[in-house]
Homo-oligomer: A and B are copies of this chain.
Amino acid sequence: MENLQELLDEACNRARPLVREGRVASYIPELAKADPSLIGIAVHTVEGETVQSGHAAHPFTLQSISKLFSLAALMRFRGPTGALDGMPCEPSGDAFHSIVRLEEEAGHPRNPLINAGAILVSSRLPGGDPKEIAGTVGELLASVLDAPVPVDAQVYASESATGYRNRALANYMQHFGLLENAELACEAYFRQCALTLDAKDLARAGLFLAGNGTDPMSGAPILDPQCTRSILALMSMCGLYDQVGQFALTVGLPAKSAVSGGILTIVPGRMAIATYGAALGPKGNSVAGVAMLQFLSDALDLSLFG
């Protein structure tokens, strides 16, 4: 689809000047080294078409986007209900690392896409050490991509050396008996956050979410449809931090962003879109990424809301 290529190029071109309005994440020292001028986008349709533009082959760590895949991995072991046990799955209205609601709600994270929830998910994955647990997430990705997915050791080390806010969340949940080893859960979570892909591979890896749980390329069943439906619903309400509402109004698609600058967006039944751009707006989402997605949603009439 030549048209799609042109659209992606146009999206990149329009978004490029915006990177000056954002700032690269600095709370993890390693992330601060990213080059904000590199932006890219990749689309993979369920029919197998794959198109990209810009720096779609520039690798970045998955960070919060990994929450989707650890949740998917856990759902394969426990089913959707078991995986989400103890989490009401409601939007939180707070920042991703907030501990306030944990106190109000006896340690129960609102949903699996805020940090507390994702750490709880990781604590439930099989494995006796961080490498093994994060490995379960990496293997899910690798099985779709048919290639190993590396962990960025420096980002992992940087995150582990500074992740005391997440440790606070994990210890809080351990106090309430929701997990048994706060330190292990955090290390596993830090490690899965350092899984590294580029936009092209991320769109490919997420394609099963657009395919009702079946990878449209290989026909392999990854998750049952009820699971993907839950994941997409959670993305639509909790996927972009405190900007999820504005994103719903202007883009209208389930998506999950990361402080590394990536966003994975799903058009159910049609395509997966991955964008990259390390400059973040005030809410922690990629400025270029959001702009490219708005452009594309408008151009292709992708919003779920008409």
A234 at the interface (CB under 8 A from B): yes
Question: Which single member of B98, B237, B305 contacts A91 (CB below 8 Å)?
Answer: B237
Q: Is B236 touching A248 in the complex (CB atoms < 8 A)?
A: yes
Q: How far is the CB of A230 from chain B (nearest CB, A)?
A: 5
- Knowing A168-B169, A171-B171, A254-B305, say if A249 contacts B236 (CB, 8 Å): no
Q: Is B165 touching A172 in the complex (CB atoms < 8 A)?
A: yes
A182 at the interface (CB under 8 A from B): yes
Task: Enumerate chain B residues within 8 angstroms of A306, measured Cβ to Cβ.
Answer: 210, 212-213, 225, 228-229, 232, 268-269
A216 at the interface (CB under 8 A from B): no
Nearest B residue to A213 via CB reads B306
Q: How far is the CB of A252 from chain B (nearest CB, A)?
A: 6
Nearest B residue to A209 via CB reads B306
> Chain A binding site: helix, strand, loop or mixed by DSSP?
helix
C-alpha gap A102/B100 in the complex (Å): 9
Looking at the complex, which of A3-11, A52-60, A239-247, A286-294 is the stretch in contact with chain B? A239-247
Q: How far is the CB of A105 from chain B (nearest CB, A)?
A: 11
Q: Which residues between 90 and 105 of chain A lie within 8 Å of chain B, taking CB atoms?
A: 90-94, 98-103
Q: Which of A88, A213, A304, A306 has the most chain B CB atoms closer than 10 A to its own CB?
A: A306
Q: Is A92 touching B93 in the complex (CB atoms < 8 A)?
A: yes
Task: Enumerate chain B residues within 8 angstroms of A168, measured Cβ to Cβ.
Answer: 99, 167-172, 175
A174 at the interface (CB under 8 A from B): yes
Task: Enumerate chain B residues within 8 angstroms of A124, measured Cβ to Cβ.
Answer: none
A164 at the interface (CB under 8 A from B): yes
C-alpha gap A196/B254 in the complex (Å): 35
Task: Enumerate chain B residues within 8 angstroms of A303, measured Cβ to Cβ.
Answer: 229
- Knowing A237-B237, A244-B237, A306-B228, say if A172 contacts B99 (CB, 8 Å): yes
Q: Is A99 touching B99 in the complex (CB atoms < 8 A)?
A: yes
C-alpha gap A168/B92 in the complex (Å): 20
Q: Is A246 touching B99 in the complex (CB atoms < 8 A)?
A: no
C-alpha gap A80/B244 in the complex (Å): 17
Q: Which residues between 205 and 229 of chain A lie within 8 Å of chain B, taking CB atoms?
A: 210, 212-213, 225, 228-229
Instruction: Give me 15 other A-B pairs in contact (C-beta within 8 A), A93-B101, A93-B110 excluded.
Output: A89-B245, A90-B246, A91-B244, A93-B93, A99-B99, A164-B174, A165-B172, A167-B174, A234-B249, A236-B304, A237-B237, A237-B245, A238-B245, A268-B305, A304-B304
A residues near B (Cβ < 8 Å) are 80, 88-94, 98-103, 110-111, 164-165, 167-172, 174-175, 182, 210, 212-213, 225, 228-230, 232-234, 236-238, 242-246, 248-249, 252, 254, 268-269, 303-306
Chosen A-B contacts, 9 in total, with CB atoms closer than 8 Å, are: A98-B103, A99-B100, A164-B174, A167-B171, A168-B170, A168-B172, A225-B306, A236-B237, A237-B245
